[in-house]
Amino acid sequence: DSSYSDVVDIYNRSANAWSTARLSVGRSSIGAGSLAGRYALFAGGLDDSFKPMTIVDVFDTHTGEWSALDLHTPRGSPRIIDLGSAAAIVGGLSGDLQYLSKAVDYVDADLQMANATLDVDYPQFGLAIADTAGGVGLLTSGYQNNRPGDRFNDFQQSNQTTVFSISQDGSTPAISAAPGQPFPYPRWGAGGAAVNGVFAVGGGHLFGDASSQEPTTVVDRVDIYSSQSGQWSSTPLKLSTPRDYPLAQAVGDYIVFVGGTDQSKDFDILDTRSGAFVTGLGHRPALYTLRTDAAATTVDDCLLIVAGGLVYQGRNATASVEMFDACKQS
């Protein structure tokens, strides 16, 4: 059976129990995210013939019920930015000569939708990062198509940054999307997360000239954006080791980078209050199993879950789950 899976694994922290559910249709390249502290969104995707889809499956964590919405433009792998009382479903794979999409769908806490088009020079497959409590999000870094509509694409690392913010107009949330300061060190494969108005984009890789340097250079650089100033820091930080496609999650006041390397299972932990990485830990948190292409999420701002992925240098898939609990015990 070559069809894509429709299985959803659900963890209930209060019951400390797992259950399963099913999407309305199996597919690959789904955009997944949250909304309003209540809904899980599974947006778009590609069907068995690699055709982009419009379906958005919505899981209500309060009632345990499923419903469905539709994107106004079919897309694979759209990015989801949770701004609190509304979310933006941004860009993705368009399935046409543009290849990358500029489409945006907004969905509010009443599951009402509106749509728009990104104000960017080039369609971009970027990194979506949200400071949900602050109501600010970024689409930045990643790559863009410099020849949209041409028969042959021209993919280049992107410095485009779009800043999403939310305001309340009476009972209706209003989202604005505006160009931001360009990303200072364009690269592919970075990971990012945000909390307390601090956005951290770390790791990734550059493609070099094979005659003069390594064809692919993995980096340890971390760029910091402040939603208060609207600026990227001129002084980047460094991870403990270069990481490509690292997992990045906000946990409490910290931003955690893990994975993205075959060298280390250790976490890099950025304290957003001090603006520095945590050092001198007697016991540094680390993965039990080194894995790539895993999924990660944070529950209740304090429980980090890392699940699935590839192990043994990509030779096998794993169903194993690791949990790192930083929740205060009552």
> pTM for this structure?
0.94
State whether residue 152 is helix, strand or coil: coil
Beta bridge partners of 195: 198
CA distance 236 to 224: 7
Of the candidates 129, 111, 1, the one whose C-alpha atom is nearest the C-alpha of residue 66 is: 111
Per-residue pLDDT, averaged over 246-271, amounts to: 94
pLDDT of residue 212: 57
Tell me: pLDDT of 167 over 90: no
Tell me: pLDDT of 210 over 90: no
pLDDT band at 170 (very low <50, low <70, confident <90, very high): low
Q: Tell me how crowded residue 225 is: count the other CB atoms within 10 A of its CB.
A: 28
pLDDT band at 313 (very low <50, low <70, confident <90, very high): confident
Tell me: pLDDT of 99 over 80: yes
**Which residues have CB under 8 Å from 166's CB, separation 6+?**
83, 84, 85, 86, 135, 136, 173, 174, 175, 176
pLDDT in tens, 267-288: 999 999 999 999 987 777 999 9
pLDDT in tens, 110-156: 999 999 999 999 999 999 999 999 999 999 999 999 998 888 889 99
**Which residues have CB under 8 Å from 302's CB, separation 6+?**
251, 252, 325, 326, 327, 328
Tell me: pLDDT of 158 over 90: yes
The CA–CA distances, whole Å, from 100 to 124, 125, 218, 248, 289 equal: 6, 7, 24, 24, 34
pLDDT in tens, 23-62: 999 999 999 999 999 999 999 999 999 999 999 999 999 9
Instruction: Give 197's DSSP letter.
Output: T
Are 298 and 251 in contact by the 8 Å Cβ rule? The answer is yes
Of the candidates 101, 90, 243, 299, the one whose C-alpha atom is nearest the C-alpha of residue 177 is: 90
Are 187 and 205 in contact by the 8 Å Cβ rule? The answer is yes
